[in-house]
Every structure is written in C-alpha cells, then in structure tokens.
A and B are shown apart, each in its own frame.
Chain A
Amino acid sequence: MSPSIEVTRLVKRFGLKNVLRGLDFQVQSGEFVALLGPNGAGKTTFLRILASLSRPTLGQVRVAGHRLPEQSAAVRRRLGVVSHLPLLYGDLTAEENLQFYGRMYGVPNLNVRIQEVLDMVGLSTRRRDLVRTFSRGMQQRLAIGRAVLHDPDVMLFDEPYTGLDQDASEMLDSVLKNVAAAGRTVVMTSHDLARAEDLATRFDVLSRGVIAASVTRTDLQNSNLLTFYKQALAG
C-alpha cells in the first residue's frame, strides 16, 4: 500500500529565509502522527504546504496519492483541515456553516450528513445557535465537524488545543479519537507532547526545518525522544 503522505527533500523559503530545509516525511494510511516541535520550527508552514495552502519552494509532496501543487484540487477533495482558527462564520448558525461548506464541497445528502456530523461532535442541540455565541471549545469541535463533513481520508490538525480549557480539551480528545478510529490518516502539530501522547501512533520532532527524530508509540517509553524534544525546545 502506498503511503498517504510522502514528502521528499521539501524546502520552503520565505524571501531569503529558509523555513524548511530538505525535509523528508512519510505517513502510512491510517497512521496518527503527532508533529512536535518548538514554536517557530516550521510546523505550521509544513502543514500549510500539506494542506495545499502554500507552495513548496523545492521538493516533492504527495498527499492522498496526488502531487502538490499540480493536483491540488484532487488533494483538497480528500483532505480535512483544522487550524487553530475555527474557519467558521460568526453570524451563521452551526447548521448554516456546515450547509455552506457542504455546498462548496458538493456533499451528497447534505442534511443527513450534517446531522451525523453534529451528533459526532456533540453539538446537535446547539445547531440553530450562532457560532459567535459558542465557546472556544465548541467552535473548535464544530471546526472538526466542518473538516470531516466531506469524509476526507487525510486530516491535518494545527495546534487544535490552543486556547482550550481542561474540559474542552478532554471533549476534543474524544472527538479526535472518533476521527482516528474511522481509519483516517491524521497529522497533528502540537508543542505539547503530553496532549498527543494517548492519541498518536507515531511522534516526529520538527526542528530547524527538518524531521530531527521519529519514534513509534511502542518505542516511546524506552526512547530518548523526551530528552531530545526538550533539547529541541531549548533551541
């Protein structure tokens, strides 16, 4: 089986600044990869390239079997993205937000699908409320609902726990587990290893524009990833 995400020697330059420097990265179908690293390591930049929102300067990127940026429409059809911003409209209700994105993606049987998704993220009772009135945690759950609406194979999460309190984080944990249990490939960035520990099947550390370490879940305990990660954090 071919990998879900395949990145070879990826370079991203902003002006004269190299943010990613020949990064290699592979994710097999169904894996849940936590991408760790200090702030400013290039995690968000990397995720935006995988999401087809930013163009690679050099190198090959394949997502869900399609090349980026050439086949970005095909990639987008099979991709769900959750960023630290909710990408939702405050003056629309939860349901209207999903209706809007559903129409943009051309989701069949949209109303049935919206009901399913709202149930999954636990917002069925708030469906007719404006997103503006939602707490940060509820917005984030609806954002996940928005991202899975068109049933993508590959999902990208950029710091989904930003600004959430303990309760909201636990709620998000269970939603994320649901997402992963459906056999989807997931890449989630985080600067917090503890948060990712019981979700991910693999842990990669992004530091100075390359993947500096990669450990599977089973090896996590007897690896020196934690020390390595702390070093990376220290810069």
Chain B
Amino acid sequence: MSPQPRLLHVLNILSALLLAAGTLMVFWYAPVERVMGAVQKLFYFHVATAWVGMIGFIIAAVVAILYLVTKDLKWDAINVAAVEISLVFFFIAIVLGSIWARPAWGTWWTWEPRLTTAAILEMIYLAYLLLRQGIEDPERRARFGAVYTIFGGLSVPLTFVSIRLFRTIHPVIIGAGGSEKMNMTGDMVVTMLFNIAVFSVIFITLFWHRIRLGQFAEQVERRKLQLTH
C-alpha cells in the first residue's frame, strides 16, 4: 500500500488549521446578530456544510454519467466517495439547521423547501447505499448506482421546486429576498465566505482520503483472491 502523498499530508494539516481559524473567526471576528443572538453563529457552519453536501451531490451526478459512458470503475469509486461525503455533510447541515430553527422559529423542524429537499436527498442516498448492498457483481453495482444517482440528481431539483411552491419561511441569504431577509454586515459576509472556503478544503481532503480507502479495499480484495487461488 502506498503511503500518503506529500500534498495530502499538507492538506491534512491545512484542513485542521483552517477549521480552527474559521471557528475562531465565527466566535471572535463576526459580530453577534442583533435579532437572533449567539445562535446565529451556527449559520456559518450550516451554510458551509450544506455547501460541501451540494458539491458532493453535483460531483456524484457528473461522475455517474462518466461511469456509464466509460465503464471505468475508477468513476464508481469516486461516485461512492462523493455520495458518502455528501450524505454526512447534509446530515450535519440538517442538524445545525434544526438547532438554529428552534430559537429562530420556535420549532425543531420546519418544512422549509431547502431543509425538506436535503432530508429527501438523504433518503435517496440511503436508498442508494441499500441498493449497492444488495448486489454482488461490482460492475452491476456500479451501473445501478450510477443510474440511481442520475435519477436522484434529476428529481431533487424538481422536488425543490415543488416544495418551494408551498410557502417558505427560510431566510433568503443571497440575492433578492422578501421581508424575512437576514441583514448581513460586511464582517458576516467575510466570515461566511471564509468558512465556505475552509469547508471546501476539508471536502477535498476527505474526498481524497475516501477515494484512497476505496483503492485499498480493492487491493485487499485482489490479495484475498490471489491467496484463494
């Protein structure tokens, strides 16, 4: 098994440092929001983790198509990695959103379009994992996984649009907003963007590790086969 490449070592350390810096920034640099108070600080992590979930979701859909076109199992390994990371980060985003929703709207859960869509996306990911679990042949597993990822990738935007047609109570952060728009000061925007950048680096690091893990698992399989023959 190959040792970690130097760049990955650098990324490991960089991720840890950036996470610490981002956290410090949230607590010491960003001002306390006037209406919501300290709990608003969760928002920076909520947005950043949701962002990572989103990247994973998009990468999964793209590599699913690449797999079906090329039939190269490398894309399947990347597909699983992207789905798993997206699953975890969307979960964190949902939990953070829920903790934030409690003081902000007086309820742990709101049927807000983005939150609900994220929850449905989690269900799609779980279905994806169950589907893969039921298939022995790696090529069929990869094909079915890719097809299902594409179905999920297409239905999720439509799910979002259809839930959005219900009234929304989520604050619109960026772009035109209604009366529920959250007023962000300059320091808040900087903190948010910085944390998005931090979590993007963390995403790259985790993604790399997960792909390597997939490669190691395959090597173990190969060795096992060699031993039994």
Contact = CB atoms under 8 A, between A and B. Distances in A.
Interface of A: 14-17
B1 interface: no
B180 interface: no
Interface in B213-228: 218, 221-222, 225
B225 to A, nearest CB: 5
Of the four ranges (under 10, 10 to 19, 20 to 34, 35 or more), the interface on chain B belongs to under 10
Nearest to A14: B137
Given A16-B221, A17-B225, 6 more contacts: A14-B138, A15-B137, A15-B139, A16-B138, A16-B218, A16-B225
A15 B136 CA distance: 9
Interface string B187-223: 0000000000000000000000000000000100110
Contacts of B137: 14-15
Shortest beta-carbon contacts, A-B, top 5: A15-B138, A16-B222, A16-B225, A16-B221, A14-B137
Nearest to A57: B139
A14 B141 CA distance: 11
Interface of B (DSSP majority class): helix
9 contacts: A14-B137, A14-B138, A15-B137, A15-B138, A15-B221, A16-B138, A16-B221, A16-B222, A17-B225
A139 to B, nearest CB: 28
B145 to A, nearest CB: 14
B50 to A, nearest CB: 36
B106 to A, nearest CB: 53
Nearest to B71: A55
A90 to B, nearest CB: 26
A17 B138 CA distance: 11
Interface string B121-151: 0000000000000000111000000000000
Nearest to A208: B229
A53 B221 CA distance: 27
A17 B222 CA distance: 9
Contacts of B139: 14-15
Nearest to B141: A15
Contacts of B225: 16-17
A14 B222 CA distance: 12
Contacts of A15: 137-139, 221
Contacts of B138: 14-16
Nearest to A15: B138
B77 to A, nearest CB: 13
Contacts of A17: 225
Contacts of A14: 137-139
A16 B225 CA distance: 8
A17 B137 CA distance: 10
A85 B87 CA distance: 41
A57 to B, nearest CB: 10
A192 B221 CA distance: 34
A15 B218 CA distance: 10
A203 B138 CA distance: 34
A224 B222 CA distance: 37
Contacts of B222: 16
A17 B229 CA distance: 10
A17 B225 CA distance: 7
A19 B182 CA distance: 62
B183 to A, nearest CB: 56
B229 to A, nearest CB: 9
B136 to A, nearest CB: 8
B223 to A, nearest CB: 10
A225 B23 CA distance: 76
Interface string B24-51: 0000000000000000000000000000
B38 to A, nearest CB: 52
A16 B139 CA distance: 10
Contacts of B221: 15-16
B140 to A, nearest CB: 9
